[in-house]
Each structure stands twice: as C-alpha cells, then as structure tokens.
Amino acid sequence: MENTDNLIEKYFNKAVQDMQDLIKINSQYDKDTANNENPFGKGISECINKFLSIAKSDGFVTKNIDNYACFAECGSGDLIGILAHLDIVPAGNESLWQYPPFAAEIHDNKIYGRGAIDDKGPLIAVYTALKILKESGIKLNKRFRIIAGGDEETSMRCLAKYKETEEIPVFSFSPDANFPAVYAEKGQIQVTMKRDFPLQGFEPIKLLGLTCGERVNVVPDTAYAYFGGDTAKIKRQLEEIAGDELEIDYYKDEYLQVKATGKAAHAMNPENGINAMYKLLRILAHPSLDYGSWELMLWIRQVAYLLNDESDGRSFNINCHDDISGNLTINLGILRYKAEDLTLKFDIRYPVTIKSFKMENKINNLAEKMMMLTQISKHIPPLYIDKNNLYLQELLKAYQEVTNDNSEPVAIGGRTYCTMIPNSLSFGANFKNDEELAHQNNEYMNLDKFKKLIKIYTKALINLNNM
C-alpha cells in the first residue's frame, strides 16, 4: 500500500496540467453553437470530453451523458457522488484581467483563468484525490463517482438530465463552496421584468439603448447607454454631471456611447461588487438631462434611487433575515433597452427559514416598486442539512485533521448542485479567509492551496470509504 502523501507529490504536476487544460477551454454557455449534439454550446462539450479523456487515461469507468454531463467512477459498493461543474460564467471585460482568462498562465504560484476556483480547479483537486485513493492499494468499499455537469451557471439542466437516466448516490458532496462544510444554502429566485416605453415623436436627443450584464448571477462590471440626435449637447451635459465617472465617446460617428465601469462579484455577495448599471442610472436620473421618451426618462428618475449599492432589498421593502443564513440579497444582473422594449433580470437569495409563499409576496412588492410586469423565471428552495449528519461528520474530520481548524459548518448565499441531488452538501473549496474570486476578474487558484485541497479530499474520501 503506497503512502497517500507520496502519491500527492507524484501526481501533483499532472494535476496542475489537467487544471490548465480545462481552464484553456472557454466553456461558457453559447447559444450560437448550441444544438442537439451540443446542448450548451461547443465549448462546454469540448470541456466535458476533455475531462473524460483525462479520466479514461487514468483507468476510470466513464460515461458522457449526451454532452449535458459526464461521470468518472471507480470502486464497488454504495454510490458516493462528487458533484462539480465544467461550465463557467463569461470572462466579462477581458481588458480588466491582469492575465488572459483562457491562457491558464502561472504567475507568483497562482494559475490565473476563468474557472480556476469555480469550479475547474476544485474539480481536478477532488479528481486527483480519487485517483490517489484508487492507486493507493486501499480496498474500495464504496463506488465513488465524480459527476461533472455543463450547465451549473445557468439552469442546472445538466443534473436534471443526469437524474432522468442515472443512479442517484446515497450521499454526495460538492467542492463548489466553502470549508469546513456547508449545511445550508439560501433559496434563489430569478425574476424577469418587462415594460414598453413608446417613443413620442420628434425628440432632439434620443436614448437609443441601455445594456449591462451577461449572467443574472454576476454583478455587472460594465454598463452602456447609447444616444442619438443632438449628441454634442448630451455629451457636454454628461461630462459636466459625471466628470471622470463615465467614458464618453462617439461610435463610428453614428451615435454617442456612454460607459460606466464597476466591479464584478458573485450574486450571492453583491455587496462585494459595484454594479455598473446602478452607477449609470444614477447619472441618467439627473434632473437637468432631457432625452426621450419622457415616460422612460421619468421611470429612470423614479427607480434610480431604488437601484443602489444597498444589497439587502431594503429599498424595495423585500428585506428579511435569519440567524442561520443572514440577509436576503438582490442583484440586477442583466438590463436591456432597445427599440422601446426594456427587460431587467434580478437574482435574489433569501434566508433558509423564510417560506416560499412569503417570498412570492415580496416579489409583488418588487414589481410594484419597479412598475413593471414581472415573472419568476427560476425558483430553487433553500437547502438545510442536519449538522449531525454522519457523512458530514466524516468530512469535517478530514478537514480538521489537515487544517487543525475546528470551525462549525456554515450557511451560504450561493446555490450549488446540492439542491438537485438528495442528501448532498458542499465541502470546500474556499477557506474562510480566502478572497472571493468566483465570477470576478483575475480569478486564480493558488498552487499551495491546490495541494492542500488534494490532501483534504484524499482524507475525506478515505473516511467515506471506511463508513
């Protein structure tokens, strides 16, 4: 039987290479290349098949589930699932990255790239731990199956597809959140709002469009407004009002482009970001500005004060709190205005003890404040696991043995695959003092942390194997 610490050193460089190979694939959802063969786009299918090729070369039993998801498995006995994802959120404004988001370059002992921490790096860490367990000579009393999905960042259709045809594990964990473990996840509601603002005829200055965001679960770091008509006048006015807060320039001499820059963050912690659209709308609400249509301009002036950096929904009268998971959070992730049609998409995370029907009442308050037609496009109830769960206790023992940290399990605002599979909880990969990097520019995986993750997950798998 080979020592697992020796195997960690033996396989570490290969693990780093495997992580780099996955990061180099732009595996964001791509509707332009999505089809029956590639349900989420070619990039995600490529990433699924790359992971499968890694697992096949290491002797795992593998299966591709129609490019929705895949798995790599070894052992015998009760099935233990490990839930991770290969899709990513968009890189956003790549000029704000210190290193290219799909180059997987190593600088100062860190691998930079989109997906490094969410979730390709943690996936390879737990995969390497399972490879070490398989090669150690320890008798496998459980079947361990890494289930890697391709649609976690949008609608989790990947795991819905998995559940249609595949075996459900007796217990699963996901390396897609926090240590020491996550026993509660807030509920999530995504809301789509629409309203028409018809033009009113001749207008010297016209607001032609507004746009921000690509994913509702990301705080948008850029927002744009486009003006036609007397662009010289609106340019002078905006420069006087905004100063250096906006980038203002002509676009191909056809219209004026106005850009606001904020800071990206995950929608579970919108307070860590700066929403660029909130910033832009506050400026466009200035009473000295005059642009059509009047109805749109008045709406902007009325709602700009609601859309602010306060992330708990207090301005909308939807705020709530519990002692387990904290405050409700709300994020405007997407806004589009063009040809009279305005669409907004909000991501709301609510405390685990709040009942669903109460949240529906709060959504009505939000719709009333925004003066828009509203539809709930996604609603995932909260997740809540007993802290005395036996599987949870074995994971905690592994974490405590490596880190000497006896902290209690935590509740989070993030949503993971654990909401889709019964008897599941998140275990890592962020430590309590880590900088929040998911969905942000310059995402990276520290290689010392990566090695520690492999060690924790190796001990965790051994503990589960011995149950």
Phi, psi of 243 (to 5 degrees): 60, -125
- What is the per-residue DSSP string for 161-200? HHHHHSPPPSEEEESSEESS-EEEE-EEEEEEEEEE----
Q: Are 140 and 74 in contact (CB under 8 A)?
A: yes
449's tokens: 């942390």
205's tokens: 């200055």
87 included as an active-site residue: yes
Q: Are 147 and 126 in contact (CB under 8 A)?
A: no
CA distances from 412 to 47, 153, 325, 352 (A): 28, 16, 6, 10
Nearest-angstrom CA–CA distance, 364 and 287: 29
- Burial class from Cβ neighbours inside 10 Å (0-12, 13-18, 19+) for residue 83 reads buried
Q: Which helix (H) or strand (E) holds 220?
A: none
Beta bridge partners of 192: 345, 375
Measure CA 444 to chain center: 15
Please choose, from the candidates 385, 380, 434, the residue with its C-alpha nearest in 3D space to the C-alpha of residue 410.
385
Cα dihedral 17→23→24→28 (10° resolution): 160
Catalytic residue among 152, 347, 394, 443: 152
C-alpha R_g of the chain: 24
| Eight-state DSSP code of residue 244 | G
Catalytic residue among 58, 87, 151, 176: 87
230 included as an active-site residue: no
Nearest-angstrom CA–CA distance, 162 and 466: 27
Q: Which amino acid would we find at residue 132?
A: I
Catalytic residues, by residue number, are 87, 152
